[in-house]
Amino acid sequence: MPYRANVSEFRFMFDHVVGFDQVAATDRFGEATPETVDAVLTEAGKMCEEILAPLQRAGDLHPARLENGVVRTSPGFSDGYRAIADGGWIAIAADPDHGGMGLPMSMTTAVNDMMSAACLSLQLAPLMSQGQIEALEHHATDEIKDTYLPKLISGEWVGTMNLTEPQAGSDVGALATKAEPNGDGTYAITGQKIYISWGDNDFTENVCHLVLARLPGAVPGTKGISLFLVPKLIPDEAGNPGVANTLKVVSLEHKMGLHGSPTAVMQYDGAKGWLIGKEHDGMRAMFTMMNNARLGVGVQGIGAAEGAFQHALAYAQDRKQGKTENNNITDHADVRRMLATMKADIFAARAIALANAVAIDMETATGDADWAARAALLTPITKAFGTETGMRVAEMGVQVHGGMGFVEETGAAQYSRDVRVTAIYEGTNGIQSMDLVGRKLMDGGEAAYRLLDEMESEAEAARTALPDLVDPVWQACETLRETTEWMVEHAPKDRFAGSVPFLHGFARVLGAHYHLKAALADPDGPHQRLAAFYIHRLLPEHVGLLAHARQGATALFALSVEDLAS
């Protein structure tokens, strides 16, 4: 089934749902005119349809492999990556001083969504580079920027992120990789890192690893971690790839999905690296890349959901089963329910992600602390809800196919297998929810309350036009406000016990808000009908989710491990 890039949907959301006009009105992003946005999205969509989408099955059927220490990528991936790089799609938001387009993150987010829908395994490579580019822009020396950024932005070189070790997963502070000063401003990096997405390839000139390591005498935990840039090939004086560094790919993981994306175990044996940022301040620098990646991974989930939905819809429209009006299974109530749920949830998750990107753009353009707080608040919601949507939609896609969904040849199962890891990497979704009720409510809930004030104000303004949709949205906002107040008032243990349902309840209400805005912009159109479906059938889930969130930790931990094992 050919993938169709829904460029018109992104334009609709930019114009009517997520407030992109505010971004385009700033001096920083004044070049993001409607004409520019249309041109960029149209060309990116064409590339996704014609070049990336045909690679989706190839990556699954012919996985990346390690041969004699060399990573061999899936058939066609080299040409696909070259199309991404040559089109400038890696560096839409990167600094023009080093070759980037300097356009808003909102546009990068839309393009990443389309690339993820077309071929998620390959999209991971430019996503890693995007995060590294941002980290270097914020924390590297001018010399490092001048050497590495033009190559990363052009796609000649690719970036990775090295955090995890066999004994240090989410507990990053337990890492054991060492960095010893060489006496010439460089460092010798020694240790092993695992789960390194696109740790190597056979189509770029160099691979640039950002590696967390510990300097001699550093304190234990995350406060003693530093960040280093460790290239596969050490640049010579002219900035070209030179001698091989002392690092290697030990093995590639055998994974449930994303077979086209090589996930490497990396070994560093005194490899030469350069400090990024200050000594012992590596987590702050790495979080620049991680926050970029958390938005990007949420969008991966949404893109995968879009691909799965289009795949399921095409199958349902072609599948004849019983006597129905349209002579296909879309007329069966349960199939129609699943397809509508898929479509409505994708819209909600996509709107949250784009609103997150708009907040990042407004912070970049204005330096306003309120926009920074909005972006921070939306990041864990985007990551967790976007990836959960990807998993749910892909699973429903298998169900729509019926028995054929369980048969690999149809390709439906691949979406479910590929997207599953997105809820795990870049901070598990449980960690995202703890971040939301912990760090993101440390302001006493002010950022959340400002967002709720806007949501309720916009609902009130729409009461006359769409009263049947406004009232449930307004009431849901009030329930979310009360639950946020509960979270602010209670101890961390109680918050954490209800953090996952709180995040999903928050996302449910946010999704209704954006669906309502779409309905107002499209009266009597498909967005209005989709909004009615979401608000009347999916939004009610927030009641149970937020009630769950307010239960605290007592009953949860009263259920002992022995009880669970009995």
CB burial string 525-543: b at 16+ within 10 A, e below? eebbebbbbbbeebbeebe
**Cβ-count burial of 488 within 10 angstroms (0-12 exposed, 13-18 middle, 19+ buried)?**
middle
Residues paired with 157 in a beta bridge? 206
Q: Considering only CA atoms, which of 13, 209, 22 is closest in space to residue 113? A: 13
Q: What angle do CA 372, 376, 380 make, to 5 degrees?
A: 165
Rounded Cα–Cα distance for residues 19 and 13 (Å): 8
Q: Considering only CA atoms, which of 550, 554, 556, 385 is closest in space to residue 482? A: 550
CA separation, residue 356 to residues 11, 350, 363, 459, 517 (Å):
16, 10, 11, 20, 16
**DSSP strand pairing (178-181 vs 157-162):** unpaired
Rounded Cα–Cα distance for residues 63 and 67 (Å): 12
CA separation, residue 307 to residues 170, 191, 312, 313, 397 (Å):
30, 38, 9, 10, 10
Q: Which two tokens stand for residue 338?
A: 């699943």
CA atoms within 13 A on the CB side of 536: 11
CA separation, residue 43 to residues 95, 102, 108, 122, 455 (Å):
21, 17, 13, 18, 34
Segment (H or E) for 557: helix 554-558
CA separation, residue 470 to residues 34, 455, 520, 541, 544 (Å):
30, 11, 10, 17, 20
Residues 6+ apart with CB under 8 A from 273: 179, 186, 187, 188, 189, 211, 213, 228, 229, 230
426 is catalytic: yes
Q: Are 486 and 550 in contact (CB under 8 A)?
A: yes
Rounded Cα–Cα distance for residues 5 and 153 (Å): 24
* Phi-psi group of 552: left, alpha or beta (phi > 0 → left; psi -120 to 50 → alpha; rest → beta): left
Q: Considering only CA atoms, which of 348, 408, 361 is closest in space to residue 537? A: 348
Q: Which of 363, 388, 426, 456 is catalytic?
A: 426
Rounded Cα–Cα distance for residues 17 and 7 (Å): 15
**Cβ-count burial of 513 within 10 angstroms (0-12 exposed, 13-18 middle, 19+ buried)?**
buried
Q: Are 385 and 507 in contact (CB under 8 A)?
A: yes
Catalytic annotation, residues: 426
